[in-house]
Structure 1
Amino acid sequence: MIGIIGIVVVLGMVFGGYLAAGGKMGIILKALPYEMAMIGGAAVGAFLIANDIATVKHTIKDMKKVFKGAAWKHGDYRDLLCLMFELIRLGRQNAVALEEHIENPAESEIFGRYPKIRADHEAVELICDTLRSAAMNYDDPHQVEEVLDKRLDAHLHHALHTSHALQTVADGLPALGIVAAVLGVIKTMASIDQPPEVLGGLIGGALVGTFLGVFLAYGFVGPFSAKLKSVIEEEHQFYLMIREVLVANLHNHATTLCIEVGRQNAPGHHRPSFGELEEALRALSSPVAA
């Protein structure tokens, strides 16, 4: 909703201010279809040249995040901590029983209680792979930590690629606007024998290209890229919280302490309170063990 409000404000303030200053929309509306075809078409073409089909599809999919925000909400962080609690507790009570869940999470009763988390491939793989590694009795837990850090860095880098791709388009739009404006000037020069009022309209139409390139870059595509980057980084906090819990488990801290470490590392606006989490853990069907 806030994204839609932002778009309305940008359009309203720019064109409202233009009209309030005595500007006329006629020349803009007349030139807009042609300038948009040149600038927008060139931007899309350049985007296709610079990226593979997977990135194009991922970018289209990620555009929804600009308006919907991060996928993980307050309740998801609480559920993640409950899931981690159940898995760690089970692993300390019966390692063989845990293996059944981490080898086939799609059929796991524990994962099944948290369908949104189970549907996220990266979260499930991160949890299962690390718990599997922990079962190998590594002499140095820092070995697993290093693997975790590299994996999370690679995941974030890949997720941010769509934001970087959009920012590249935003950086190029002003130049594409100049290209469209130059073409408009060329058209104007070919009509140099026309009266001043005709030439004024042609020059005005050419300048619409410069305006449109800058307006799209800094009014829409650039902010879209920045918002997408912010959302992706916020979603990454979900995986970082998984890391903190798993690392605490590798160091053989008490189960409840592992979960508290994760809670403390959750984003402030999504962090469940101590009482809320304690109540959720008590509600689990199995008896609580430290």
Structure 2
Amino acid sequence: MFNGIGVAVILVCVFGSFLMSGGNIAVILHALPHEMMAIVGAGIGAFMLSNSSAIIRKAWGGTLRAFRGPRWTEGDYRDLLALMFSLLLLFRKGGSAKIENHIDQPESSDIFSRYPRLLADGQLIDFLCDYLRMMTVSFDDPHQLSEAMEGDIERHHAEELAPQHAIQVMADGLPALGIVAAVLGVIKTMSSIDQPTDILGAMIGGALVGTFLGVLLSYCFVGPIASKLHQIVDADAKPYSIIKTAITAHAQGLPPQVAIELARRMTPSAYAPSFSQLESSLDRAQEQFREPLRAI
């Protein structure tokens, strides 16, 4: 919704102010097709030339992602904390033998299956299961575990930001491509220097449309999309830090409730459940697995 409103505000204010000041919109409309072709075509070509095919595919998906917004909701964060609590509680009471079946095949686990939105995020579930599996083989040094997880988080974050960086580079180059289009228009104008002044004026105005479009596309469209994608990538990386905090705290010997409370404090403020909300979620999670845990 806000994306559409933002685009509408840009177009109405920019072109509306031009018309209100007495500008001739026909000059822009006449030059728009070929100027846009030069700028957008050169931008796309340069983007393809400077990036790998994988980055190009991810950049298209990243653009759509910027319009969709962050994947994680307040309920997802509560579910993640409840899932972590269930797994750590099972680990604490039953040891590695009881948790291995869940982390080896999370898609068939009765714990993971209660949180289908989390289970659908394959990378996050793999990250979670990999480090729980490392703890089952006595890799329980909290410092080594924390360093290993931090390295994985940084690598994942850098890979997620690669398309955003490529889009930002293209945004930075669009004003220069606008100048290229404008110079072509000036060359065309100079070849018609013997024409009347009204014709030359229209041709010069059309040439300047290239500079205008390059700056407009860069600072009002492509640049903001890159900026928003950066925010979304940062937001979607928060669950990894939450998992890292909970697992590291558990490796230090803290009770599951305390480990999850520390992880809750890593949740973004806008989505963080209150202490009472988290307590209710953990009570429900514990009740769901009361019988399995009692049998251990």
TM over 0.5: yes
Amino acid in the other structure paired with 1:286: F
The TM-score, its normalising length taken from structure 1, stands at 0.97
Aligned residues: 289
Secondary structure class of the residue paired with 1:283: helix
SS of 2:195 mapped into structure 1: coil
How far apart in 2 are the matches of 1:167 and 1:99?
43
In 2, are the aligned partners of 1:4 and 1:67 still within 8 Å (CA)? no
Q: 1:2 maps to what in 2?
A: 2
Greater shift in the superposed pair: 53-62 or 249-258: 53-62
Deviation at 1:139, TM superposition (A): 5.7
Residue 156 of structure 2 corresponds to which residue in structure 1? Answer: 155
Report the equivalent of 1:16: 16
Aligned ranges 1:163-174 → 2 under 5 Å: 163-174=164-175
Q: In structure 2, how many angstroms separate the alpha carbons of the residues matched to 1:98 and 1:83?
A: 13
Partner of 1:249: 250
User: CA 1:258/1:184 → structure 2, altered by over 3 Å: closer, same or farther?
Assistant: same
How far apart, in 1, do the equivalents of 2:247 and 2:56 lie?
34
2:259 equivalent to 1:258: yes
Q: Which amino acid aligns with 1:64?
A: L
> Could you tell me how far apart the structure 1 residues matched to 2:8 and 2:252 are?
52
1:64 positional shift: 2.1
Query: What is the letter of the counterpart of residue 10 of structure 1?
Result: I
| Separation of aligned partners in 2, 1:276 and 1:287 | 20
- Report Cα offsets for 1:266-285 as digits up to 9, x if no partner: 00000011111111122231
Cα drift, residue 287 of structure 1: 2.7
Q: Which residue of 1 aligns with 2:222?
A: 221
Structure 2 runs not aligned, ≥5 long: none
Runs of 4+ in 1 over 3 A off after TM superposition: none
Partner in structure 1 of residue 93 of structure 2 = 93
CA contact (8 A) 1:3 1:66 kept: no
Q: Deviations over 1:47-106 (max 9, x none)?
A: 111111111111111212222211001000000001001111111122212000111112
1:167 and 1:221 in contact (8 A); partners too: yes
In structure 2, distance between residues paired with 1:3 and 1:249: 42
Q: Indicate the residue corresponding to 1:56 in structure 2.
A: 56
Tell me how far apart the structure 2 counterparts of residues 64 and 75 of structure 1 sit (CA, whole Å).
23
Unaligned runs of at least 5 residues, structure 1: none
CA-to-aligned-CA distance 1:168-207 (integer Å, 9 cap, x gap): 0011101100110010011001111100011011101100
Deviations along 1:92-139, one digit per CA (max 9) or x if unpaired, are 122212000111112111111111111112211111111111112236
Report 1:180-219 matches (<5 A): 180-219=181-220
Aligned residue identity for 1:172? G
Cα distance between partner residues in 2 of 1:21 and 1:232: 41
Residue 43 (structure 1) aligns with: 43
CA distance in 2, matches of 1:115, 1:50: 38
The separation in 1 between residues aligned to 2:216 and 2:186, in whole angstroms, is 20
Shift, 1:238, TM fit: 1.6
2:241 corresponds to which residue?
240
2:289 corresponding residue in structure 1: 286
Q: Which moved more, 1:132-141 or 1:114-123?
A: 132-141
- For the Cα contact (< 8 Å) 2:39–2:214, is it kept in 1? yes
Q: Give the conservation status (yes or no) of the 8 Å contact 1:188–1:199.
A: yes
Q: 1:156 and 1:139 mapped to 2: Cα distance? A: 25
TM-score calculated relative to the size of structure 2: 0.95
Contact 2:81 2:263 in 1 (8 A): yes
Letter in 2 for 1:287: R
Identity among equivalent positions (%) equals 45
Q: Which amino acid aligns with 1:133?
A: M
| Secondary structure, counterpart of 2:237 in structure 1 | helix
Mapped to 2, the partners of 1:252 and 1:198 lie a distance apart of: 81
After TM superposition, list the pairs within 5 Å mapping 1:73-92 onto structure 2: 73-92=73-92
Q: Distance in 2 between matches of 1:139 and 1:5?
A: 51
Question: Helix, strand or coil: the match of 1:252?
Answer: coil
> Which one-letter code corresponds to 1:265 in the other structure?
M
* Distance (whole Å) between structure 2 residues aligned to residue 99 and residue 237 of structure 1: 26
Aligned to 2:122: 121
Contact 2:140–2:251, Cα closer than 8 Å, also in 1: no
The answer to whether the 8 A contact 2:186-2:207 is kept is: yes
Q: Distance in 2 between matches of 1:139 and 1:90?
A: 16
Whether the aligned pair in 1 keeps the contact of 2:81 and 2:260 (CA below 8 Å) is yes
